[in-house]
Amino acid sequence: MTPAQLQTKLTELLALPQETEWAEFKHNNTNPQMIGANLSALSNAATLEGQPFGYIVWGVEDGTRNIIGTTFQPRRQKVGNEDLEPWLNKLLSPKVNFRILEFEAGGLPMVMFEIQAANTAPVAFSGDHWVRVGSHKKPLSEHPERERKLWLQLSGPIQDWSAQICVGATLNDLDPTAITFARQEYKKKHPTLAAEADGWDDMTFLNKAKVCINGQITRTAIILLGRAEATHHLAPCLPQISWILQDEHGLEQDYYHFEPPFLSAVDGLFARVRNLTIRHLPDGTLFPIEVTQYDPWVLRETLHNCIAHQDYTPGGRIHVVEQPGSLLFTNRGRFIPGSVEVVITRDAPQEVHTNPFLTRAMVHLNMIDTIGSGIKRMFTKQRQRNFPMPDYDLGEAERVKVRVVGQVIDDKYTRMLMARTDLDLLDVIALDKVQKRVPLSEDEFQSLKSKNLIEGRRPNLSISADVAKATDTMVDYLKKRGVDKEYCQRMVMELLQKQGQANRQDIDKLLLAKLSDALDDKQKRNFIKNLLQEMRRNQEMDVEGKGPAAVWKLSKPSEKDGG
């Protein structure tokens, strides 16, 4: 700006109402963290107010708006050993332009920062998003309606990265096998169009499926259906999904990088995941059934959400980290709804998406079941399997982490879910927080306490220890004890028939692994001890010796029959 333009702009800003949210006035407050947070707040506020820029002006008295000058010299200020301007630029995300303007007004030194309005996503400083509310700077997360409005204004077709045309790309850049698979999935999603779809050529189909636009290849088409060698059309973005296998110490054991087409890469990734069969206790009996660690639908929905909501512009990968007992999914971007509870309680579909065009295409290709319902269904499926809830970590401003647990953490939680089918999903999520030692909100605490589902004092809460009373599990044990005993007896008899004899160690090895985890080790061993004594009293078997050296054998027919 010329000196005259700066004077005009200053006059315009000074004439604004006190509560204007895209302009801030200072005297000599030059704290770097404060400046960075204000840049975030003013950039976001400018977008909300339909302004191209936000402004901070130094040299104005707060309240009176009198020009008093400033001693602030931004181009000489350092943060550590770094100049202020590049330090601020480094911590703003996504990157937005700002200018430092130094001039005089009435012979007094003045400083003006002009920052571009947010244009692709809410602007954060050092990972935190800010917004102006009246004349005050506030965390954006504390004002969900402003955050929702901001995303709505940022998510128009011009800002939708996934809808942009890849200039020069043709059908030859797409994988024919992936297109054939896409047709199959499209017909599953739209059965009434199946016969008609068989007559469409490839480009007509891709247009109908909202993957291409008017015969032009989009970034969405490359991500979902593109050949691996066609990803140069997305440069400098890096569309990859990395599977990483770690041991219990977090050390990497194996890895593999998957490139487009993501529509079919998902199957390849999950073929590498060790979806082991584990013993589980669905009905409170002494004999669990076997189930897989992970529900395939839950895994697919989680990964598809990562693909749909990944912020591809910084070039980061989607990660699936396989650790003992869990899978950790991470993608760059922001969890737009703000919290899982909002998703669970909201009846309407989500209004804003990171990549609207990509998300709609994934719906048409049967990758996402229904917009807005997938996350809730994930929680419901885990609840039906009596497994821990998906664990959303939203602590990082520009990254979403979701952990899917494939093992029982707390037997009391599992048994509570089995019997208390009346619990609503929010109570189940709250109980899951208790077993994971995650603090409860006041509403969650009061709800669980009123239903006698938890005990103890905050923060040391636990699921009610009186599980037998809370779940009637012991009634199930008593009802089925006879059946379980007969089953154990048959197993012992078969062992003796095959081996001729067995010591207690052999019998423990046979039975201990079969008994329910609802019993501790001492209870299991007492159960076996009582079982063997009863079989001896019934003259089904004899014991020779005492203590660890004792050997069990089948009773001779003459002895058993009294002959």
Mean pLDDT of the chain: 84
**What average pLDDT score do residues 380-385 get?**
88
pLDDT of residue 123: 93
Residue 401 burial by CB count (10 A; 0-12/13-18/19+): exposed, middle or buried? Answer: middle
The per-residue pLDDT for 18 is: 80
Q: Is the pLDDT of residue 370 over 70?
A: no
For residues 35 and 26, is the Cβ–Cβ distance under 8 A?
Answer: no
Closest alpha carbon to 14 in 132, 136, 147, 105? 105
Residue 187's alpha-carbon distances to 38, 197, 301, 510, in angstroms, are 51, 7, 19, 51
Flag whether pLDDT at 558 surpasses 70: no
Dump pLDDT digits (tens) for 103-142. 999 899 999 999 999 988 899 998 899 999 988 899 998 8
CB distance 476 to 418 below 8 Å: no
Distance between CA atoms of residues 125 and 550, nearest Å: 73
- 3-state DSSP of 517-532: CCCCHHHHHHHHHHHH
Give pLDDT, residue 466.
Answer: 54
Given this model, what pLDDT does residue 39 score? 95
Global confidence as pTM = 0.57
pLDDT band at 297 (very low <50, low <70, confident <90, very high): very high
Q: Within a 10 A sphere around the Cβ of 431, how many other Cβ atoms? A: 29
Residue 520 in this model has a pLDDT that exceeds 90: no
Q: What is the pLDDT of residues 33-56, one digit of tens each?
A: 999 999 999 999 999 988 888 999
Six-digit token pair at 142?
Answer: 């504390």
In this predicted structure, what is the pLDDT of residue 6? Answer: 86
Average pLDDT over residues 202-211: 94
Pairwise CA distance, residues 318 & 341, whole Å: 24
pLDDT tens digit sequence for 140-190: 988 888 888 888 888 654 468 898 999 899 999 999 999 999 999 999 999
For residues 540-549, give the mean pLDDT. 86
% of the chain beyond a pLDDT of 70? 88
pLDDT of residue 480: 36
Domains of the chain: 3-154 (3.30.950), 161-234 (no CATH), 241-345+368-463 (3.30.565.60), 473-561 (1.10.10.10)
Of 79, 107, 160, which Cα lies nearest the Cα of 357? 160
| AA identity, residue 452 | N
For residue 336, the model assigns a pLDDT of 65
pLDDT digits (tens, 9 = 90+) for 317-356: 899 999 999 999 999 887 766 667 767 776 545 555 678 8
Q: Where are the alpha helices (DSSP H) in 156-201?
A: 176-189, 194-197
| pLDDT tens per residue across span 221-259 | 999 999 999 999 998 888 999 999 999 898 999 999 999
- 479 vs 111, higher pLDDT: 111
